[in-house]
Amino acid sequence: MHLEHPRHIRSFHPRRSRVTAGQQRALDAGWPHWGVEGDGPLDVAGLFGRTAPLVLEIGFGMGETTARMAAADPARDVLAVDVHTPGVGALLGEVAALGLGNVRVVVGDAVEVLRDRLGPGSLDEVRAYFPDPWPKARHHKRRLVSPDFLALAADRVRAGGRLHLATDWADYAGQMSALLHASPAWTVEHEGARPDWRPVTRFEQQGLAKGHAVVDLIARRG
């Protein structure tokens, strides 16, 4: 499959946040071990020192959910991608505290990583929990989940692999659902409440406190 994205619109808004002393220590100590440098195609087996099913996590917030899920699933490797330095430091701290060998961290645009650094059929799963909802109608074009994104993810996820999305914005959940059901590459297997095995994220807690309903969508690659 030949995929072109000549006008890739970033789905995140870079923000400046203060890095705590603890996060900076975790960055300094952990990046040489778990950080991924460069911008070329990834040697995944070389990064992890083994060949195992690979999960791409798009945006990991402060990293608690990423670390907990990786610890509970040691047979799979997790490539976690985000752009926000405090969260990178926090995740590296969690990885160190739990002694995880199955997490690597990339700082950058996850769509570009998916498009340019990972090959067809290389992923067991793509996760995107609570991507920026871009609530204003004029900004909806910036939302991560789009026909182009679903096509790209379908190319990179192996047959039988899956895509797991979660959001607390009702109209974004509706958009995700409509796009997944319209895609010939994906079969929706779950649409509703958070599965028990997915930990509640920090952003999710904030949404729940505001009365937002959370929707998880899990689709299987045909």
- What tokens does 17 get? 């946040």
**CA-wise closest residue to 70 among 43, 107, 95:** 95
Q: Is 124 annotated as a binding residue?
A: no
Q: Is 202 annotated as a binding residue?
A: yes
**CA-wise closest residue to 184 among 159, 156, 153, 221:** 221
The tokens 């701290």 sit on which residue? 93
- What tokens does 64 get? 């608690």
Q: Is 109 annotated as a binding residue?
A: yes
Q: Is 155 annotated as a binding residue?
A: no
pLDDT in tens, the chain (222 residues): 333 343 445 544 555 679 999 999 999 999 999 999 999 999 999 999 999 999 999 999 999 999 999 999 999 999 999 999 999 999 999 999 999 999 999 999 999 999 999 999 999 999 999 999 998 988 799 999 999 999 999 999 999 999 999 999 999 999 999 999 999 999 999 999 999 999 999 989 999 999 999 999 999 999
What pLDDT, on a 0 to 100 scale, did the predictor assign at position 137?
Answer: 86
Q: Is 132 annotated as a binding residue?
A: yes
What pLDDT, on a 0 to 100 scale, did the predictor assign at position 56?
Answer: 99
Q: Is 57 annotated as a binding residue?
A: yes
Q: What is the 3-state secondary structure (H, E, C) of 86-118?
A: HHHHHHHHHHHHHCCCCEEEEECCHHHHHHHCC
Active site residue 132: yes
Give the active site residue among 28, 116, 124, 132: 132
Domains of the chain: 42-221 (3.40.50.150)
pTM (predicted TM-score): 0.91
What pLDDT, on a 0 to 100 scale, did the predictor assign at position 14?
Answer: 54
